[in-house]
Amino acid sequence: MQHEEQGGESLVSIRKADIVVALIMAAIGGVVIMDSLRLGMGWSEYGPESGYFPFYIGLAMVVASLGTVATRLFRKRDSGGSFVERQQLVDVMKVLLPAGVFVFLIGFIGIYVSSALFIGAFMRWLGRFPWHTIVLVSVCVPLALFLLFEIWFLVPLPKGPLEDFLGY
């Protein structure tokens, strides 16, 4: 795979990220164990109680994750390099944050309008396309999707004030 090394500074090393994620996993395992204890992990007359299976799942998760942490801690030298470099993180955020806003907006103005705004914003800020291209694509694509899903497949998708106004 072509990788364009931009010589970015490493923000987080793989080692640190590995340990953090493993600890998070262990924490999740802990939550699972807690809930299993609440449900009961023994045996009732009907067989294993609700919490039986999840308890062992949680336990395995905690043990495995702590194992990962231990393996990492024992290998003192920082092998593996960088988890994410500054430029890479910026690039990823360029997608993640607008996508987050997009998802948030869906609940308010419907998916079609949100998509139009999302595509348009992307094309403007990251693609630097001329305005007429932006408007063309960011209107046509959601429109095509609308025809595809609402009219042809008859699959209802979240809609907002604009569609209400147009009578859908």
Partner 1 sequence: MEALTSLIGGFAVLGDPANIMYMFIGITLGVLIGVLPGLGGANGVAILLPLTFSMSPTSAIIMLSCIYWGALFGGAITSILFNIPGEPWSVATTFDGYPMAQQGRAGEALTAAFTSSFFGAFVAVIILTFLAPLVAGFALRFGPAELFAVQLLTFCSFVGMGKEPPFKTIASMMLGFALAAVGQDPSTGELRMTFGWYEMLRGFDFLIAVIGLFGIGEILLTMEEGLAFRGKSAKINPRIVLETWKKLPRYWATAIRGSIVGCWMGITPGGATPASFMSYGLAKRFSKNGANFGRGELEGVVAPETAAHAAGTSALLPMLTLGIPGSPTAAVLLGGLLIWGLQPGPLLFIEQPEFVWGLIASMYIGNIAGLIVVLTTVPLFAAILRIPFSIIAPVIIAICAIGAFTVNNALLDISFMMVFGVIGYAFKKLNYPLAPLVLALVLGDMAEGNFRNAMILSDGSMSIFWSNALVGGICALALLMLFWPAISAGMRLLRPGTSRRPAE
**Number of residues counted as binding partner 1 (CB under 8 A):** 71
Token pair of 167, please?
A: 């009578």
Q: How many residues does the chain have?
A: 168
The minimum distance between CB 167 and partner 1, in angstroms, equals: 21
- Which of 27, 37, 103, 147 binds partner 1 (CB under 8 A)? It is 103
Using the rule CB under 8 A, is 130 a contact of partner 1? Answer: no
Name beta bridge partners: 10: 85
Using the rule CB under 8 A, is 88 a contact of partner 1? Answer: yes
- Which of 158, 161, 162, 164 binds partner 1 (CB under 8 A)? It is 158
- Which of 11, 23, 84, 139 binds partner 1 (CB under 8 A)? It is 84
118 class by beta-carbon count within 10 Å (0-12 exposed, 13-18 middle, 19+ buried): buried
Using the rule CB under 8 A, is 9 a contact of partner 1? Answer: no
> What residues between 133 and 152 interact with partner 1 by CB under 8 A?
137, 141-142, 145, 149
Using the rule CB under 8 A, is 68 a contact of partner 1? Answer: yes
Residue type, 44: S
Name beta bridge partners: 13: 82
Using the rule CB under 8 A, is 58 a contact of partner 1? Answer: yes
- Which of 41, 123, 159, 163 binds partner 1 (CB under 8 A)? It is 123
Q: Give dist(CA 66, CA 69) in Å, integer.
A: 5
Token pair of 119, please?
A: 């595509």
Query: In angstroms, what CA-CA distances link 72 with 13, 25, 42, 58?
Result: 12, 15, 35, 21
The minimum distance between CB 52 and partner 1, in angstroms, equals: 8
The minimum distance between CB 106 and partner 1, in angstroms, equals: 6
How big is the chain by its Cα radius of gyration, in Å?
A: 24
| Among candidate residues 114, 112, 103, the one with its CA nearest the CA of residue 166 | 112
The minimum distance between CB 166 and partner 1, in angstroms, equals: 19
Cβ-based nearer residue to partner 1, 155 or 166 = 155
